[in-house]
């Protein structure tokens, strides 16, 4: 029990997150941490769009299997990559305080979103971002782009697109926060459920999970619980345009949710608030409200088109 083995993806961002957790664990427990990089199915096919990869958890499945086999003691993920349900025997050991959950614009010309010329090419690998951006500015051209953060930034520098929309947290964690042109408000783009948060996953009752529990940040955990309940009620981690953002206040929690079609022509949005210990129920209530507004038709259409599920 003198070493904690942490499994993670091998990307620059994933390793930065795992090393951050590792340092906190070493400081808090006095134990030594080893980082184990694991290649996931999502990493092996970075030249394919996410929609071509069937199944849930394309960025976590292999890591969870290693965790179940006992090859690692904990797993560190971007929480938004986690499916809404865990394999039997696994669960969240901790959710540390999250970074800014916002999406950001990285513009080659340093122009803000509202100032980009009509027809500007915007790169994103997320249907959620695409739908909301097109709803806000249907004159933009959205281009699919995958790969790690460095790869995307290099494509921008080469002129393959005019701007990128990415997660603020990822850029900050790898030291590229200075590339941000604009932080997009939730009125323009609601972030993915769990965006900006790190998930520390472990085996239920295992000593490493118990030792990592001190990393948990209750306000972040409450927000993420509400967001994931919203997503779960809509049918799991959908690779369709679904966003959820919860914020804990002094006495309450407020959650905003959005469901849209891929083109952004039909967009359903609402928010609810209530006691902060009722986040899960509020997330489910918000999902029900959007379904009643007509969001269920969009979800059903995507199911009929056999769009696989994954992170949004």
Residue 236 pLDDT class (50, 70, 90 cuts): low
Identify whether the C-beta of residue 90 lies closer than 8 Å to the C-beta of residue 161.
Answer: no
Looking up tokens 């029990």 gives 1
| Tokens linked to 121 | 């090419």
Cα–Cα distance measured from residue 184 to residue 38, given in angstroms and rounded to the nearest whole number? 32
Residue 59 pLDDT class (50, 70, 90 cuts): confident
pLDDT (tens digit per residue) in 91-138: 999 999 999 999 999 999 999 999 999 999 999 989 999 999 999 999
pLDDT for 46 equals 53
pLDDT for 306 equals 47
Identify whether the C-beta of residue 59 lies closer than 8 Å to the C-beta of residue 311.
Answer: yes
Domains of the chain: 3-98+196-216 (3.40.190.10), 103-183 (3.40.190.10), 229-304 (3.30.160.40)
Q: What angle do the packed helices 218-233 and 279-290 form, to 10 degrees?
A: 30
Mean pLDDT for the chain overall: 90
| Chain centre to alpha carbon of residue 249 | 22
In this prediction, what percent of the chain has a pLDDT beyond 90?
79
pLDDT (tens digit per residue) in 142-159: 999 978 898 999 999 999
Q: In the sheet where 74-78 sits, what is the strand order?
A: 32-37, 3-8, 74-78, 198-203, 90-94
Kindly tell me if the per-residue pLDDT of 200 is higher than 90.
yes
> Which residues are the active-site residues?
81
pLDDT for 38 equals 95
Q: What sign does the dihedral 172-151-187-234 (CA atoms) show?
A: negative
Which neighbouring-strand residues pair with 37? 8
Residue 3 pLDDT class (50, 70, 90 cuts): very high
pLDDT for 311 equals 40
Kindly tell me if the per-residue pLDDT of 45 is higher than 60.
no
| Strand 252-260 to 267-275 pairing | antiparallel
The residue among 110, 134, 150, 68 whose CA lies nearest residue 266 is 134
Identify whether the C-beta of residue 162 lies closer than 8 Å to the C-beta of residue 179.
Answer: no
Kindly tell me if the per-residue pLDDT of 241 is higher than 50.
yes
Residue 178 Cα distances to 100, 154, 188, angstroms = 15, 15, 21
Query: What pTM does this model have?
Result: 0.89
Structure letter (DSSP) for residue 291: I
Identify whether the C-beta of residue 34 lies closer than 8 Å to the C-beta of residue 21.
Answer: no
Identify whether the C-beta of residue 223 lies closer than 8 Å to the C-beta of residue 246.
Answer: yes
């Amino acid at each position: 029990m003198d070493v904690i083995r942490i499994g993670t993806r091998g990307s620059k961002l994933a390793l930065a997150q795992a090393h951050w957790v590792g340092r906190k664990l070493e400081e808090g427990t006095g134990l030594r941490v080893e980082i184990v990089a694991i290649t996931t199915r999502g990493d092996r096919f970075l030249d394919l769009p996410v929609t071509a990869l069937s199944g849930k958890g394309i960025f976590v499945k292999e890591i969870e299997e290693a965790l179940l086999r006992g090859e690692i003691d904990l797993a560190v993920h971007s929480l938004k990559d986690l499916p809404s349900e865990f394999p039997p025997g696994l669960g969240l050991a901790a959710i540390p305080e999250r970074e800014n959950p916002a999406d950001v614009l990285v513009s080659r010309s340093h122009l803000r979103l509202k100032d980009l010329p009509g027809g500007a090419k915007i790169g994103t690998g997320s249907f959620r971002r695409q739908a909301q951006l097109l709803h806000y500015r249907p004159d933009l051209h959205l281009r699919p782009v995958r790969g790690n953060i460095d790869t995307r930034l290099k494509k921008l520098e080469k002129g393959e697109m005019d701007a990128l929309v990415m997660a603020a947290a990822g850029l900050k964690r790898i030291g590229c926060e200075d590339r941000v042109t604009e932080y997009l408000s939730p009125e323009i783009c609601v972030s993915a459920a769990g965006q900006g948060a790190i998930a520390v996953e472990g085996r239920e009752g295992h000593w490493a999970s118990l030792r990592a529990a001190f990393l948990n940040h209750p306000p972040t955990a409450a927000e993420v619980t509400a967001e994931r309940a919203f997503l779960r009620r809509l049918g799991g981690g959908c690779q369709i345009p679904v966003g959820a953002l919860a914020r804990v206040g002094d006495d309450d929690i407020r959650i905003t949710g959005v469901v849209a079609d891929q083109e952004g022509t039909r967009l359903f949005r609402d928010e609810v608030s209530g006691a902060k210990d009722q986040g899960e129920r509020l997330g489910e209530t918000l999902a029900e409200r959007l379904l009643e507004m007509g969001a269920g038709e969009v979800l059903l259409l995507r199911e009929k088109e056999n769009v696989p599920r994954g992170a949004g």
